[in-house]
Amino acid sequence: MIAIKNVYKQNFDEIDIDEYWNTGVEKEALMHKIHAYPAKFPAFITTKAIKYAQEDGVKVNSIADIFCGCGTTAYEAKRNSINFWGCDINPVATLIARVKSKKYDSEKLSFYFNSIINAFLKQKLPKDLILNANQRIKYWFFEEQIFDLYKLKNSIIESISPKSFYRNFFLCAFSNILKPTSKWLTKSIKPQIDPYKKPGDVLTAFRTQFDLMNKANIENVNLPNTKTEISTVNILNVDISKNIADMLITSPPYVTSYEYADLHQLSSLWLDFTDDYKKLRKGTIGSLYHDNNFEEDLKKLNKTASKIVWQLYKTESKKSKSTARYFIDMQKTAQKTYTLLSKKGIALFVIGNTEFKGVRIDNAKHLVESLLNAGFINIKITRRKISRKILTPYRDKKGRFTTDSNSRKVYAEEFIIVGRKY
């Protein structure tokens, strides 16, 4: 890692790739594979980050992740016998994260699974169910799958008490079979129908999903009983009146990141988190759906952000406004991060740069400047390769990775940024 002496003169593109952060030495735990999640945080980074902090003199008793997503850092913290506090605004993400962080009795899992299957086979639904179903559900699913999914969800709810954390285990399993049993284009990062897809059988998909999750749980037999707390909330709305953690490990959204509310709409609708997935867009950092005053936002931007926003404004005024709001939110996030850390604590961010219509969005430089302004010192930075992008540095119109150089370019590296609180 190199120390940042002058953020404005530092050429981030000249920072060497650090092999240490590229790959892990351990096989990733099965629990990380129980539910699909876009842009999932590499599990090995958490373990390496803990080691890095300890070698830097930090006693890590607690870790926080303010964009905890599907709980990768939460799970790895528990594996390392470290308490965890995390949050994410996405209710689907926090459901997965909570399930990952629990240890379950295998006999109870089998009992509940058999109870759910028996209830499913006996379940009878009203004939007008399709007529009254959510319009978006009818858009994504054929009638056969809609009936079976309703039967399955009802069976889970009837078989397991809402007070039992085992219910979340099976709702998580239910959530992960929604895309395979729908018309959703497989492996696409954009919500779109595949006109040629034959959706999977609901019960078969659920059995397969349960087997995977049960196997992952068996692997968890020695998982420590540390404290893990995960909240469904935007970090900017959290009242931090005391230090929460000795270390922060997180990966913020990018300016041009996916609309996670859109990508998780099937789960959000089926699990009754909302009756309109678009409502979940509002308030998320990096979203296009912000209510904001552009003129007021411009006054709050730091130097790096102001330069980027004005470049965007020349070609795409709407995007420049949402970008300004994103940068301000990230500046506030840097301040929140400083507050939640204990004295001499350490923060580690993983973030990449992006591009929009030829304008480079320097997320990394903006974050470094924000951290310095928040009070962090001894900022260090390095770069790592994003392995899944090394040979496919472009995205096609459907959002899939491709080697076609005529498609939109994406960056194949991201930055590890570390700062200390004193």
Write the CATH number for 29: 3.40.50.150
Mean pLDDT along residues 12-36: 92
CA separation for the pair 4, 368 (Å, rounded): 9
Mean pLDDT along residues 324-336: 94
Tens-digit pLDDT profile for residues 298-316: 889 999 999 999 999 888 8
* pLDDT above 90 as % of the chain: 72
Tens-digit pLDDT profile for residues 134-150: 999 999 999 999 999 99
* 254 and 120 both lie in a single domain: no
CA separation for the pair 219, 338 (Å, rounded): 36
Tens-digit pLDDT profile for residues 205-230: 999 999 999 999 999 988 999 999 99
* 22 and 145 both lie in a single domain: no
Interacting residues of 9 by C-beta distance below 8 A, sequence separation 6+: none
**Closest C-alpha among 61, 21, 62, 63 to residue 42:** 21
* Domain interval for residue 78: 2-93+226-260+278-420
* 250 and 282 both lie in a single domain: yes
Per-residue model confidence (pLDDT) at position 396: 60
Residue 363 lies in a domain: yes
Residue 269 lies in a domain: no
Residue 70 lies in a domain: yes
Strands of 245-250's sheet in order across: 2-3, 377-385, 413-420, 341-351, 245-250, 62-65, 83-88, 228-232
Residue 110 lies in a domain: yes
* 383 and 240 both lie in a single domain: yes
Residue 267 lies in a domain: no
Per-residue model confidence (pLDDT) at position 303: 96
* 54 and 144 both lie in a single domain: no
* 339 and 301 both lie in a single domain: yes
**pLDDT at residue 255 tops 80:** no
Mean pLDDT along residues 366-377: 97
Residue 174 lies in a domain: yes
**Domain end among 219, 248, 269:** 219
* 198 and 316 both lie in a single domain: no
Per-residue model confidence (pLDDT) at position 32: 96
Residue 266 lies in a domain: no
**pLDDT at residue 401 tops 60:** no
CA separation for the pair 64, 377 (Å, rounded): 19
* 336 and 414 both lie in a single domain: yes
Mean pLDDT along residues 365-375: 97
Interacting residues of 327 by C-beta distance below 8 A, sequence separation 6+: 255, 301, 302, 305, 308, 309, 366
Mean pLDDT along residues 42-69: 96
* 290 and 409 both lie in a single domain: yes
Higher pLDDT, 16 or 289: 16
CA separation for the pair 52, 418 (Å, rounded): 10
Beta-strand pair 408-409/394-395: antiparallel
Per-residue model confidence (pLDDT) at position 390: 41
**Domain end among 204, 219, 234:** 219
Per-residue model confidence (pLDDT) at position 405: 60
Average pLDDT over all residues of the chain: 90
Higher pLDDT, 11 or 412: 11
Burial class for 210, CB neighbours closer than 10 Å (0-12, 13-18, 19+): buried
Give the least confident one: 34-38, 160-164, 259-263, 408-412. 408-412
**pLDDT at residue 398 tops 70:** no
Number of domains, the chain: 2
Amino acid at 227: K
Higher pLDDT, 260 or 414: 414
Residue 265 lies in a domain: no
Per-residue model confidence (pLDDT) at position 243: 85
Angstrom CA distances, 392 to 26, 39, 42, 136, 379, stand at 25, 15, 18, 33, 31
* 158 and 37 both lie in a single domain: no
* 230 and 210 both lie in a single domain: no
* 30 and 119 both lie in a single domain: no
